[in-house]
Amino acid sequence: MHSLKRAVAVLLHRMGVMAFAQRGKVKGALLVAGTSSDAGKSVIVAGLCRLLARNGVRVAPFKAQNMSNNSAVTVEGGEIGRAQAVQARAAGLEPSIRFNPILLKPGSDGTSQLVIRGQVSDSVTAADYMTHRHQLAKVVADELSNLRAEFEAVICEGAGSPAEINLRATDLANMGLARAAHLPVILVGDIDRGGLLAHLFGTVAVLDAQDQALVAGFIVNKFRGDPALLKPGLRQLAELTGRPTYGVLPYTEELWLDAEDSVSVLAHRVLGAPQPPRGHQWLRVGALRLPRISNSTDVEALACEPGVLVRWVSDQGDLTDVDVIVVPGSKATVADLGWLRERGLARAVVAHAESGGVVLGICGGFQMLCRSIDDPVETRSGRVDGLGLLDADIVFESRKVLRRWTAPLAGYEIHHGRVARCAAAEWFGVNGSPQGYRHAGVFGTHWHGLFDNDVFRRQWLAEAANTAGRDGFVVADDTDVAARRDSQLGLLADLLATHVDIDAVIDVLETGPPPRPLIVAKLHY
């Protein structure tokens, strides 16, 4: 079966190369919008970037404005949404602030940290943000214009839904961007949620005439079942809107790495598709589902391993049978530490460690494991007691640490907190500088992406299993997380090549919005 899948993938790749060779040079830009958050915009953009790149097109991703606590550090030393970093990888590029010039990181007090061109600019409420609109519009316009001049194709991703007409006047990422840059728009909807035809029709219908004129057609995402049953609905949708559906992508459980940190991502209790253990025992990992979790993708590398079962937990009872507890990053460390205490999870983590269990803290989670946290920045709460599992103190500073590491280990840092004092033993270091700390089975580090390092991850899993008494757990020696990530990007490109009319999409990319505007409804608001 594996060889058959490989043969089909190779055939699709060759067919795609031939089709692109016949087309000649590709040049243009388009916007992928969605009927809602998590409709599939990010994966469609990533898939298009990989499909174009592997056919010799110089392509770049672009998201004018992202709201996410799941971010990555760029080559310039700034931060962007992780989805744009993955899309850059799909395009064969290093992550750059150019691909996501505006990033909003929600905190615990109704404000968001405003990141412009990779650097923190301000902390704003929704009302405050409106005052930045003209400045931000210029930033967006300049970055997109420069990308279009440098690359043959730019695939833009919208934010949320373009149907949020109450926000249209200040929109920078959806129809505001499409109107300003005269971009054709492809609208993506998630049929797995139900009500898709109404979502697609309604999204177009509530737009004003000038915005409607930019919508070229639709893509259906996450379809299960017989496509023949959907055809009559798509035919009626075309009759009602005058717009085609370019393709129907099937629901695919294999696609789960690098998902955005939305509620729907964390609602899946078991992460990924667990593979059978190489030995006779599983290693069970419980990752705490913090309210303001950041960089939730850190645990995905563990979930790639055979015999490692990773699930998101939010109640004490969920921790009774786990071997390892992971406390992930947080955009509001002190507030989320308070949440742990309110739910009794703090006591459960401490009890787990004191009974000889393994606890891993990453970034904000590491800070929670220390003796004290002094925070005049994120939550402005001052000094509070941590869980005391690591003999260290954390002090927050206004300047954020943004750092990429490439050797001897790869990883990145995004945090305000600094280690002010530490008497805990060193877990690992780089060039003589401690970067991780431990006490017995408790481990902590500010590094994100640490477990993407295959050799490091295997060594740590072996130690964690030994500490947890899982003598029957055997660490696999062939798991390659980077290859898994690239294989999923390749799978995305193959799915688009198989199930979407790519020629029609490329025509839209090159020719722009439909030449004759098709108005579904004329609304006044």
Residue 510 parent element (H or E): helix 502-511
Q: The tokens of 226 are what?
A: 């017989």
- Contact (Cβ atoms closer than 8 angstroms) between residue 182 and residue 513: yes
With tokens 């919208």, the residue in question is: 158
Looking at the DSSP bridge assignments, the partners of residue 329 are: 294
Between vectors from CA 92 to CA 504 and to CA 142, what angle results, nearest 5°? Answer: 75
Residue 448 DSSP symbol: B
Task: Report the candidate in 317, 312, 314 with the shortest Cα–Cα distance to residue 286.
Answer: 312
Q: The tokens of 255 are what?
A: 């696609």
Residue type, 219: I
Question: How far is the C-alpha of 450 from the C-alpha of 468, rounded, in Å?
Answer: 21
In sequence order, the 6+-apart residues with CB closer than 8 A to the CB of 436 are 426, 427, 428, 429, 443, 444, 445, 447, 450
DSSP H helical ranges for 279-395: 300-303, 333-342, 345-354, 364-369
CA dihedral (81, 86, 87, 92) positive or negative:
positive
Task: Report the candidate in 65, 172, 43, 159 with the shortest Cα–Cα distance to residue 115.
Answer: 65
194 φ, ψ (degrees, to nearest 5): 90, 155
304 is catalytic: no
> Which candidate in 49, 156, 363, 370 is catalytic?
363
49 is catalytic: no
Active site members: 363, 448
